[in-house]
Amino acid sequence: MEKTDIRRKTSPFFHVMVKPTGPICNLHCTYCYYLSKKDFFKKQESFRICEELIEKFIKQDIAAQGTSLVNFSWQGGEPILMGLDFFRKVIEFQKKYCPPDKQISNDLQTNGTLLDDQWCEFLRDNKFLVGLSIDGPRELHDYYRMDKKGNSTFESVIAGAELMKKHNVEFNTLTVVNRMNGQKPLEVYKFLRDELGSQYQQYIACVEPKDFAQVAPQYWDRQKQPPIDSTAARPGQPDSVVTDWTVDPDDYGNFMCAIFDEWLRHDVGKIFVPMFDTALGLWMGLGSSSCNFAEVCGTALAMEHDGSLYSCDHYVYPEYRLGNIATDSLSEMVYGDRQVKFGHDKRDTLPEYCRKCDVRFACNGECPKNRFILAPDGEPGLNYLCRGLHKYFKHIGPWMKLMARELRAGRTADNVMKIANKDVSRPSAEKDIKLNAPCPCGSGRKYKKCCGASQIA
């Protein structure tokens, strides 16, 4: 108990993503990692959280938070399937248990296809921040995001976005970077910016081992982890260990570099991309605002419809079940030894290749769920996205240093747009590098196949 109290003082904030409908959704997206979670629960089970559990959770969550702002996140599956009456009850419980010295905020992730005027009025009136899942223009969005009959969902998603605009609902976009849209970075970014009007764009990489539905992360067979430069560590190959829809690691690096360049020249201070904001904080020595790039994690958990709490949204497996809100204390589960070890393992299990990397301070091995390939020296546990992440961090590094310098000098970071538009390459001698020359980042690849790829794109 004493250890728990100490940890609460050093890490007073944690976040629980609530899955009120569990994995149940009205769509059937090819790459969805969550639909298969229903196999972990009893057949014929009702995938709806009961009122008693949600009240108990809200009460404990508010009491356990050590900060004045308490955030509740609602995801799925599709949380809209719970209906408006459920969320009206949520607001009622939040008001009931929130003391005068704390404030409540809510965010909700949705595919947008079930929104109507009544929903949008509720979301606006209760100041919900909505995350809208959309993967780019029609041909890219519909490639993997289909309904249960295999039909297009694009028009329904756009209709949902238009309804939110009509009712002044604050919403962001969340885009899964997959094998298809990962090859079209500027088509995706410009569509979200120019046609949808998204000013806050979140990008997450689609990375799924073929056995992800049955095998929990860190329980992989180490003897089957492929070397970093093998065909097995790429999607679409006969011996690949990942699904066909997983983004190629090099495509992912090129994707983020290309979007960064477009943002750098036109949109600094106007469009917000969390991955760029996180990087700037790291280059300023402020630490990571994202668990993906933090040295340790463990403060972002997930609660299922039956009240079970799991170490992370991507670790909803029996092996990572911490307990249940119906019988266990939320704070004891969050701050207990098991969850603390889970978070510290992110740092403590880094392969030596990562520990010696020149961008470790910015990457920190990214999410442990993606660490299932062999490093060049044969050590297991390297991140599948390593090549792409290294390319991205080396590419943005000079600009991040410049933005950090501007901010420290009391100027705004958007000053770099003027510099970037004069120097269409990078604020260094790289603008003179030949495409077939070795890349200066030290990867051993040609410049055109590494940091220069985004310029070609």
Encode pLDDT of 181-196 as tens digits.
999 999 999 999 999 9
Cβ atoms of 149 and 104 closer than 8 Å: no
Long-range pairs of 271-275 with CB within 8 A, sequence gap ≥ 24: 271/193, 271/198, 271/199, 271/200, 271/201, 272/199, 272/200, 272/201, 273/200, 273/201, 273/202, 273/203, 274/200, 274/202, 275/202, 275/203
Q: Within 13 Å, how many C-alpha atoms sit on residue 278's CB side?
A: 19
pLDDT tens digits along 218-250: 999 999 999 999 999 999 999 999 999 999 999
| Distance between CA atoms of residues 335 and 337, nearest Å | 7
| pLDDT at residue 399, as a whole number | 95
Query: What pLDDT is attached to residue 9?
Result: 45
Alpha-carbon span 104 to 127, nearest angstrom: 10
**Predicted local confidence at residue 155, as pLDDT:** 98
According to the model, what pLDDT value does residue 421 have? 86
Query: Is the distance from CB of 69 to CB of 17 less than 8 angstroms?
Result: no
pLDDT of residue 413: 81
For residues 445-455, give the mean pLDDT.
Answer: 58
Phi-psi region of 368 (alpha: psi -120 to 50; beta: other; left: phi over 0): alpha
Whether the per-residue pLDDT at 455 is higher than 80: the answer is no
- Going from the C-alpha of 383 to that of each of 311, 371, 449, the distances in angstroms are 19, 4, 20
pLDDT digits (tens, 9 = 90+) for 403-441: 999 999 998 888 899 888 876 555 443 455 567 876 544
Instruction: Please state the pTM of the whole predicted model.
Output: 0.91
**Looking at this protein, which amino acid is placed at residue 373?**
I
Mean pLDDT for the stretch of residues 257-285: 97
155-173 average pLDDT score: 98
Indicate whether 445 pLDDT > 80. Answer: no
Say how many C-beta atoms besides its own lie within 10 A of residue 93's C-beta. Answer: 17
- 455 CB-near residues (< 8 Å, 6+ apart): 261, 425
Residue type, 44: Q
Quick check: 341 and 311 in contact, CB under 8 A? no
Q: What is the pLDDT of residues 346-397, one digit of tens each?
A: 999 999 999 999 999 999 999 999 999 999 999 999 999 999 999 999 999 9
Residue 176 has pLDDT above 60, yes or no: yes
Bridge-based pairing of strands 300-303 and 15-18 is parallel
Task: Say if CB 190 and CB 184 are below 8 A apart.
Answer: no
Q: Out of 5, 277, 313, 432, pick the active-site residue.
A: 313
pLDDT (0 to 100) of residue 10: 46
Active site residue 313: yes
Largest CA distance in the chain: 65
pLDDT computed for residue 382 by the predictor:
98
State the pLDDT at residue 437.
74
Strand 308-310, strand 321-324: pairing: antiparallel
Nearest CA-CA partner of 177 in 147, 151, 148, 141: 141
Of the candidates 380, 365, 385, the one whose C-alpha atom is nearest the C-alpha of residue 224 is 380
